[in-house]
Structure 1
C-alpha cells in the first residue's frame, strides 16, 4: 500500500485528492481501526496556523494558552460533529461509495444481526 509523502498528506488534510495509486491507503485511512483519531488530527492540521496566531495576542501566556485551548476544543467539537458528512465526501472524492465502512465492523454487525434474528424469529 503506497503512502503519501508529507506534502501530499498536507494537501489531503486540507481537502485535496490523492492519486489513484493511493486509493487503498485512503480507504484504510477513512475506514480503518483508527479512523476517528486520524480524522480529528487531519481536521486540526489546517487550523494550526490560526491557533499559532493566538500566541501573538497581547497578554499573559496563560491567557493566550487558554484561548488556544478553547479554540481547539471548539474545533474538535465541530470536527467530530461533521465527521460522517466529511468522511462520505472524502470517500466519494476518491471513488468509493459514501457509506463504505470498516470491514471488521460490518462483519461484526452482520453476525450480531444474524444472532438476533435467530433468537427472535417471527
Structure 2
C-alpha cells in the first residue's frame, strides 16, 4: 500500500500523524489551514485531546463498584483534560500553523474579521478607544 502525497486531504495514516503533531505535505496546506482556522476548529482540537483521555479512563467504568466510585475515579482526571485542552487550544493551533509554515497570526486575523461588526458597533455607540 502506497501513501500518496499528491492528495488534497490526508489519508488515515497521515491524519493520525497530523493529530500527533507531524507535518503534512504542501499539497494539503489548504486543508490544514481550514482545519486549524475554520469554523469548529476549537471544537475539533478539544475532541482530539479528549479521545485519548476517554480511552484511558474507560476501563475504570468497568470496575464492579458503585456509580459514585467510578465517577470519583474518572471525573477529577477528566476535568483538567477539558480545562487544559480549552486553555491551550490557540497555542496548539498556532504551533501547528508554524509546523506547516503558515502564518500563526491567521487565527487572530480571522477572529478580528469575524468580530469586525461588533467593534464597529461599539465605536459608533461609545466612540473610539482613547490611547
What range is the shorter-chain TM-score in? 0.7 to 0.9
Q: Offset of 1:113 from its aligned partner?
A: 4.3
Stretches of structure 1 that go unaligned for 5 or more consecutive residues are: none
Max Rg structure? 2
RMSD: 3.0
Does the 8 Å CA contact 2:97/2:103 hold for their aligned counterparts? yes
1:23 & 1:117 partners in 2: Cα distance? Answer: 36
Tell me the residue number matched to 2:106: 100
Superposition pairs of residues 1-122 of structure 1, within 5 angstroms: 2-52=8-58, 54=60, 59-60=64-65, 62=67, 63-101=69-107, 105-113=111-119, 120=127
Q: Offset of 1:49 from its aligned partner?
A: 4.1
1:33-68: per-residue Cα shift (whole Å, max 9, x none)?
A: 111110101222343443245457x55263335423
Stretches of structure 2 that go unaligned for 5 or more consecutive residues are: 1-6
* Count of residues in Structure 1 that have an aligned counterpart in Structure 2: 121
Does the 8 Å CA contact 2:8/2:31 hold for their aligned counterparts? yes
Range with bigger deviation, 39-48 or 25-34: 39-48
